Amino acid sequence: MQQAEIHDFLVRFFSSSGCSILPVSSADQLKVQLTKEMDKRLMNRPFYWHYIEQIGAEPELATLTFRLNDNDNDGEFIHFGSPRLHQIMNTVEELGRFIRMYQILPSQSAPALEPWLGLNLKISYQCDLKKDFIRSVGLQLINGTLIEGFQSMLKRLQLNQKMPDYCYTLSPLITINSGIRRIERFIEAELNTEPTDWADQANERWEKDQQLLDSFYDYQELKPERYTQEKKALEEQYKPVIKVKLINAGLFYLQSSTFLPDLIKDR
Amino acid sequence: MKPIIQFDRTWYDSFLKHIEDNGPWAKSELFSLAYLAEKERIIPSFHGLIAPGRLPQLKLHPHQIETARTVIEEMHGKAILADEVGLGKTIEAGLIIKEYMIRGLVKKVLILVPASLVLQWVSELNAKFYIPAVAQRKAYVWEHYDVVVSSMDTAKREPHRSIVLAQDYDLIIIDEAHKLKNHKTKNYQFVQSLKKKFCLLLTATPIQNQINEIFYLVSLLKPGYLGSAEQFAKNYKSGLRSVKNEQKLKALVNQVMVRNRREDTGLHWPKRIIKSFEIPFSKAEQDFYSSLDVLKQHGIVQSFSLLTLQREACSSREAAFVTLNKIYRTTTTPVTERLWHDIFDKLNAIQQNAKAEKAVELIKQINDKVIIFTEYRATQLYLQWYLKKNGISSVPFSGGFRRNKKDWMRMLFQNNVQVLVATEAGGEGINLQFACHLINYDLPWNPMRIEQRIGRIHRLGQEKDVHIYNFATRGTVESHILNLLYNKIHLFEQVIGELDKILTHIDLNDVEKQVLTIFEESDTDGEIKIKLDNLSSVINFEQLQLKGDEDHAAGGNS
């Protein structure tokens, strides 16, 4: 993430969470007056808040000053490794977890909106090494149409959190629960077609170390507890596993003609 | 075999409840930003390092990055880091922890280091790597914090021991791991019992004496890697110190050990510029020094105590007084009273300290940060007083200081005052590379201690040449030490790291004892000189031998 992108990210975050962006003298700076909620989340001062709320006093909300270049002295230097940025990103992920949105349509179009379930998932391939991959999947809850790259698709649409007055939503035939299962089965099937060389190699490393361990305790009839402990540690170190974690999920009501057929993965 | 696929399903209920309750729903901008935050933070590849890109303010050297990569990708997180002294093993370890934490492969970390280094580790991990490491202070810390730094002595003692052994650590780091060479010790067995996924052992001297040491070190990391103890003995040992199948052993060890050498790193190392001063006593000091002989002649002290007194007298009258007074109070009789009277008179007659005067002159000339090392607490106090009298600000530093005080003194020295006056015990465990002038106000007889003193400033991060000033009083025991032991065997000029290799080969206590014996048993200065000459020849010979050994053996990554 470049410094300019970080700046953009911060401005978007603070504006959308209700904080006020204060004027600064340099483009490399960002000054923010926090809201009460953000102060509580970011400033880590529970005793102050407990005290203020006990006596019912007017709180003094914190102001954060960031600088995006390394040379200045004024403000907190923020970059992709700084703990503050990750604290903010974690907060963003907590606050941006579940959503419901409606498509805004031109007034002359058909007023029916179809329900979609959208899941953004992080897929981690893990052994003694690790890498991640993000998948964004949408499932239409009436006919089971499934598309990938759902999040970037949504970006092109005009959406609102309130249903437009002249529209109505169609009832889903697939429940949320089974919708989630369908997406999981889809992901699972896809993962099963992927090459497994990384996992095979990890298994080989595991096997090799296990053999060494066995040979070390070979002469002992009754294996000591340490053997079992080391064996378990090797499993934790090497065992290849794919973990699927939710980033965020949403219910989206969209017009049926929104998606072109070539995006459709499964029905 | 296909890898297992695990779905995190803990969010189901919460999502369904949001639908049921009609909210509360996230703002659409935050929903997009959450996706963006995760997208930016994913790890795109199994290979390469993410951490350096997230540490823009840390200057990493190529060998440090390469070491971290090798440990993670080729050694699978179990390794001995055996860089020569001063190449930044702590930085390499920090980089490895950071990389694993970013990748989400490591959460719980235990770092065991010598007590004097606990705080330094904590502050380096926090300041340089943004790793929220804490020093173990209370029993609850083990369970409540993810990254804990502690001394081995604390961790292995109850009530801590059982708590520590119950933790599932993802990564364990042990500094000064060469202390674990003996598998029968409590420390070794304790480390062996820890639950660990990844493990780093840090040491500058992986093999000191016996070939067994490397076996036990490696077996902590990977039991069975060098076979069982019997197999190892059969395959690689011939006698206690000699190796057979050396090439094979070396190749095996190199797969679990990284050893960067100074000459391979391509870094510029600042020079050591050594200056020795032989400072004549003032008349009064000389009289006092000479009068001490009387004590031995009258059988009041043995030659060892006399030697101690003489060394103290070379430092300051204050240092000598402490010992002198102790002896006086325990041995005085009416018969010796007059003799004592004479000695104390001479002590009181001393108006000036020749070395202190030289120090002030030198400090004013240097006009920069200076560290003064002395062996004696009394001299330390005296020097502080004397410097102040001459308008030079200073802070004290001793090993006995609490961690906070040590840090505070270091900070004061860095920011506010010109001189740090340290006693011997303060020599280990602080980095003072922002200073480049060091005065050895008196000379320890154990050359390793000199090396540790110099190591405080001559290390990675030192950008200027390092100036070492050695003080010895002319015509005393000290000048013998300076001339014959140090100057002859060129210990000051050794590149850092070389000395520990040499000295671990010769038994150190032996050297000290030898010197003592020489002083004790010689009747004339001439005799002392000849005997010290012989001793330095022995050490020089050992040095040459070792150089030869280094060239075709030892466990390097070449």
Tens of pLDDT, residue by residue over B413-462, are: 999 999 999 986 554 557 788 899 999 998 877 666 777 788 788 777 78
Q: Is B395 helix (H, G, I), strand (E, B) or coil?
A: strand
- Lowest model confidence (mean pLDDT) among A29-43, A53-67, B335-349, B479-493: B479-493
* Claim to verify: residue A176 and residue A227 sit in the same structural domain: no
* Contacting residues for B389 by C-beta, under 8 A, at least 6 apart: none
Transcribe A78-118 into DSSP letters. Answer: --TT-HHHHHHHHHHHHHTSEEEEEE---TTS--EEEEEEE
Task: Decide whether B51-265 matches B272-278+351-508 in CATH topology.
Answer: yes
Q: Does B166 touch chain A (CB under 8 A)?
A: no
From B327, B318, B261, B256, select the one nearest B294 (Cα to Cα).
B327
Q: Is A259 exposed, middle or buried (0-12, 13-18, 19+ CB in 10 A)?
A: middle
| Interface residue of B2, B19, B35 to substitute, partner A, most A CBs within 10 Å | B35
Residue B267: pLDDT over 90: no
Partners of B62 in the β-ladder: none
Q: Parallel, antiparallel, or unpaired for β A130-140 and A264-266?
A: unpaired
Complex-level ipTM: 0.93
* Contacting residues for B342 by C-beta, under 8 A, at least 6 apart: B291, B294
User: What pLDDT, on the 0 to 100 scale, is given for residue B261?
Assistant: 80
Residue A262: pLDDT over 60: no
Give A 158-177 residues with CB within 8 A of chain B. Answer: 159, 161, 176-177
pTM of the model: 0.76
Residue B517: pLDDT over 90: no
Which one of B31, B33, B132 has the shortest CB-CB distance to A9?
B33
B6 contacts on A by Cβ (under 8 Å): 241-244
User: What pLDDT, on the 0 to 100 scale, is given for residue B120?
Assistant: 86
Q: Taking CB atoms and an 8 Å limit, are B33 and A120 in contact across chains?
A: no
Q: Is A21 helix (H, G, I), strand (E, B) or coil?
A: strand
Q: Kindly indicate the confidence band of residue B101, based on its pLDDT and cuts at 50, 70 and 90.
A: very high
Over its C-alpha atoms, chain B yields an Rg (Å, rounded) of 28
Q: Parallel, antiparallel, or unpaired for β B370-374 and B437-440?
A: parallel
Residue B172: pLDDT over 50: yes
Residue B147: pLDDT over 70: yes
Name the phi and psi angles at B428, rounded to 5.
-90, 150
The CA distances from residue B116 to B148, B399, B419, in Å, are: 15, 8, 22
* Claim to verify: residue A83 and residue A179 sit in the same structural domain: no
CATH annotation of B272-278+351-508: 3.40.50.300
* Claim to verify: residue A154 and residue A136 sit in the same structural domain: yes
* Claim to verify: residue A174 and residue A136 sit in the same structural domain: yes
* Claim to verify: residue A77 and residue A33 sit in the same structural domain: yes
Q: Does B402 touch chain A (CB under 8 A)?
A: no
pLDDT in tens, A45-60: 999 999 999 998 889 9
Write out the two tokens for A200. 């095979």
Rounded to the nearest angstrom, the minimum Cα separation between B101 and chain A is 11
Q: Work out the average pLDDT over B163-182.
A: 90
Asked whether B74 and B112 are in contact (CB, 8 A), the reply is: no
Residue B109: pLDDT over 80: yes
Separation of alpha carbons B181 and B195, rounded Å = 19
Number of domains in chain A: 3
pLDDT in tens, A108-150: 777 889 999 999 999 999 999 999 999 999 999 999 999 999 9
Average pLDDT over chain A, rounded to an integer = 90
Q: Taking CB atoms and an 8 Å limit, are B7 and A216 in contact across chains?
A: no
* Claim to verify: residue A175 and residue A221 sit in the same structural domain: no
Separation of alpha carbons B519 and B445, rounded Å = 12
Asked whether B84 and B65 are in contact (CB, 8 A), the reply is: no
Asked whether B456 and B426 are in contact (CB, 8 A), the reply is: no
Higher pLDDT, B45 or B330: B45
Residue B222: pLDDT over 60: yes
pLDDT in tens, B291-305: 988 888 888 888 788
Q: Taking CB atoms and an 8 Å limit, are A9 and B27 in contact across chains?
A: no
For B199, other C-beta atoms within 10 Å of its C-beta total 23
Write out the two tokens for B345. 């008179």
Separation of alpha carbons B481 and B531, rounded Å = 12
Asked whether B484 and B533 are in contact (CB, 8 A), the reply is: yes
- Angle between helix axes B246-254 and B212-221 (nearest 10 degrees) is 30
From B306, B358, B340, select the one nearest B473 (Cα to Cα).
B358
**Domain B51-265, what fold?**
Rossmann fold (3.40.50)
Amino acid at A101: M
Q: Give exposure, A96-121, as e/b (b: 16+ Cβ within 10 Å).
A: bbbbbbbbebeeeeeeebbbbbbbbb
Q: Kindly indicate the confidence band of residue A240, based on its pLDDT and cuts at 50, 70 and 90.
A: very high
* Claim to verify: residue A90 and residue A106 sit in the same structural domain: no
User: What pLDDT, on the 0 to 100 scale, is given for residue B537?
Assistant: 78
* CA A155, A158, A163, A168 torsion-angle sign: negative
Give B 127-156 residues with CB within 8 A of chain A. Answer: 130, 132
Q: Does A140 touch chain B (CB under 8 A)?
A: no
Q: Work out the average pLDDT over B396-416.
A: 85
From B296, B62, B219, B510, select the one nearest A226 (Cα to Cα).
B219
Cis, bond preceding A106 (omega within 30 deg of 0) = no
B199 contacts on A by Cβ (under 8 Å): none
Q: Work out the average pLDDT over B456-474.
A: 85
- The residue range of the domain holding A35 is 3-95
How far does chain B reach from its first CA to its final CA, in angstroms?
37
Give B 219-238 residues with CB within 8 A of chain A. Answer: 219, 222-225, 227-228, 230
Q: Parallel, antiparallel, or unpaired for β A112-126 and A241-254?
A: antiparallel
From B224, B180, B228, select the one nearest B201 (Cα to Cα).
B180
Which one of A77, A128, A243 has the shortest CB-CB distance to B8?
A243
Residue B469: pLDDT over 70: yes
Q: Taking CB atoms and an 8 Å limit, are A212 and B196 in contact across chains?
A: no
Domain positions in chain B are 51-265, 272-278+351-508
User: What pLDDT, on the 0 to 100 scale, is given for residue A259?
Assistant: 63
Amino acid at A196: T
- Picking from A95, A117, A132, the residue at the C-terminal end of a domain is A95
Average pLDDT over chain B, rounded to an integer = 85
Residue B1: pLDDT over 80: no
Q: Taking CB atoms and an 8 Å limit, are B46 and A125 in contact across chains?
A: yes
What's CA A48's distance to the chain center, in Å?
Answer: 31
User: What pLDDT, on the 0 to 100 scale, is given for residue A128?
Assistant: 95
Asked whether B150 and B112 are in contact (CB, 8 A), the reply is: yes
Q: Work out the average pLDDT over B97-103.
A: 96
Q: Work out the average pLDDT over A201-220.
A: 88
